[in-house]
Amino acid sequence: MLLPRFFFALIFSLLQLAAAAQQPITYTLSFPNAVHHEADIKVVFAELPAGLFSVRMARSSPGRYALHEFAKNIYKVKAYNSVGQEITLTRPNPHQWDIPSHDGTVTITYTLFGDRADGTYNGISEEHVHLNMPATLMYGLGLDNRARLVQFNLPAGKNWQIATQLKKETTPNTYTAPHLQYLMDSPVEISDLKFSEWQLPAQNKTIRIALHTQAGDKAFADYTTKAKKVVAEAGAVFGQFPDYDFNSYTFLACYGPQAVGDGMEHRNSTFITSSQPLENNVNTHLSTFSHEYFHSWNVERIRPKSLEPFNYAEANMSGELWFAEGFTNYYGDLVLCRSGVNTVTEYAQNISAELNHVLNSPGHQYFSPVQMSYQAPFVDAAQSIDPVNRVNTYISYYPFGSVIGLALDLTLRTRFKIITLDTYMQAIWRKHGQPEIPYTLTDLENILGSVTRDPEFAQAFFQQHIYGLKLADYKFLLAQAGFLLRPVNPNKASLGLTLLNFRNNAAVIQTGTLVGSPLYQAGLDREDVIQTIAGKKINSYNDLAAALAAHKPGDRVNITYTPRVGASKETIVTLIPDPQLEAVPYETAGLPLTKQMKAFRASWLSSKVKSGRK
């Protein structure tokens, strides 16, 4: 999936010659029962060596790190030889089918069910066909380097069009890929699409939006106008755009009730989905747009070695997700601010949400960012039925990495003046992104030392904040740009950030209580029911708010509760200040914004397309 660029150009130009030497694996997809979310799929494997031949469905998908077991959604699997005779299939495991004997050609047919249009799964209906290839197509073991040809039989009477990063051939509705990795990395959206496209300045590169939506032209025009600014600002971070295959990058966007909120990056395209309509949600959708587009540099070409090659048969674990996903998250929000899509105040609100998530979670006491990244196979849309303690032990590598990106950016700007996170990202791009040489954690540390000309700083930062458990001094760092990090309600008494569910006139603790919180210290836990606080009956959120409002932080109050098992109990809880934080501009907080702060903020948050500053 991430071979050097020159090799991609070569392999595509030689595809016909390769096919002449060895027939490509051919897929044909039809949708006669789309109303019931089914597709009929035929795949022809020709010129096979004698002996056992095995086909599989993937268990994982690029951009996802957990197992998703796509074989569960296919059925009516049959196999035929070169003259159409049905041949024997056996199934040695849930993901694989074996053909013990064949005549050199095996045709497999099966039915695929798909009713979840997001970045990982398939959505097939009368409105559209939304396909993620690992969830769609069987592959033959030992044939990874064979070319692929994909043909779509579109329903009659519909004005459907196809959008994908696959190479379009002259035969209608036919596309090719040079090998398995490229095929699996190439999602497809088929529907009555709206298109917009533009050329990048002074470059032979096209950015295209293929949108499935019921939105009107006005909303789509607003979306496109702002998208152009986001794309330009993302490119300004690195100083150049990637060399997209076929000189084109496509946003495959699907907004409406048939979709589930998600975003998934690919080499020359991205899936963006949401059940929320485009009207009145343009800026919200552009948040995902910005994040996923930044991935065309960071993770698609600046690629961690731990994910090379991507393994479709197992979960994929990486210690670099704090950087691959987290720094992308940081830049996704920053680019929205630099482009003017979001205001400085809105950007501060985004920072506040992520800092609250990280600083108020006990998880940072348990695992470093590298170790949090290792948790991905357990949390990245993975499913389990037993209760877990992640409310205390886990912080998503998205916000965790994002606030590390914030800390490093502000630290570089404070300590080294002319060095910024943009400078660092550009150096990583030159060393690993442009030549597409996968990186390691050691590489990231060494490049930071080289950029700053201070290897000791780089080593200390990585030891403390990447491998270690130390958090940065965000209050000090944000103050350099004239932002105040403060408690939202410092005088408000609180039980801590415990999620309560008010049902049947009872306050039920919905999750495990947070380590160190008043309820945790008092011995309360998940599914315990709070009855009274300081003698006040707690039947609703308003009752809880009133009971707490009568007290101040530090007060010790009686609580009666009913545990999951056993009779009612009474205990004493020490109330704490409301732990929620906010980052606000100094001028909003009534504090003086100095010239130095103003210049620092402008250098950080202003458009780089206009100023050229980094």
Task: Give me the chain's average pLDDT, please.
Answer: 95
Per-residue pLDDT tens digits for 66-124: 999 999 999 999 999 999 999 999 999 999 999 999 999 999 999 999 999 999 999 99
Polymer length of the chain: 614
pLDDT reported for residue 16: 45
pLDDT reported for residue 338: 98
Query: How far are the Cα atoms of 175, 446, 537, 584 from residue 411, in angstroms, in the given order?
Result: 48, 17, 49, 19
**Residue 370 belongs to what H/E stretch?**
helix 369-374
- Matching residue, tokens 């060399």: 243
pTM, two decimals, is: 0.94
What is the C-alpha separation between 534 and 542, in angstroms, rounded?
A: 15
Structure tokens at 513: 């209580």
**Is the pLDDT assigned to residue 614 strictly greater than 80?**
no
Supply angle C-alpha 44, 39, 12, rounded to 5: 45
Q: How far apart are the first and last CA of the chain?
A: 31
What region, left, alpha or beta, does residue 447 occupy, with left being phi > 0 and alpha being psi -120 to 50 degrees?
alpha
**Is the pLDDT assigned to residue 579 strictly greater than 60?**
yes
Per-residue pLDDT tens digits for 473-495: 999 999 999 999 999 999 999 99
Mean pLDDT of 48-75: 97
Per-residue pLDDT tens digits for 9-21: 444 554 444 444 6
Per-residue pLDDT tens digits for 161-216: 999 999 999 999 999 999 999 999 999 999 999 999 999 987 889 999 999 999 89
What is the number of other CB atoms lying within 10 angstroms of the CB of residue 545? 11
pLDDT reported for residue 203: 81
pLDDT reported for residue 17: 46
Query: How far are the Cα atoms of 3, 198, 560, 574, 579 from residue 522, in angstroms, in the given order?
Result: 56, 60, 11, 9, 18
What region, left, alpha or beta, does residue 181 occupy, with left being phi > 0 and alpha being psi -120 to 50 degrees?
alpha
Nearest to residue 25, comparing CAs of 144, 126, 199?
A: 144
- Return all residues near 415 (Cβ < 8 A) that are at least 6 apart: 457
Nearest to residue 424, comparing CAs of 448, 403, 440?
A: 448
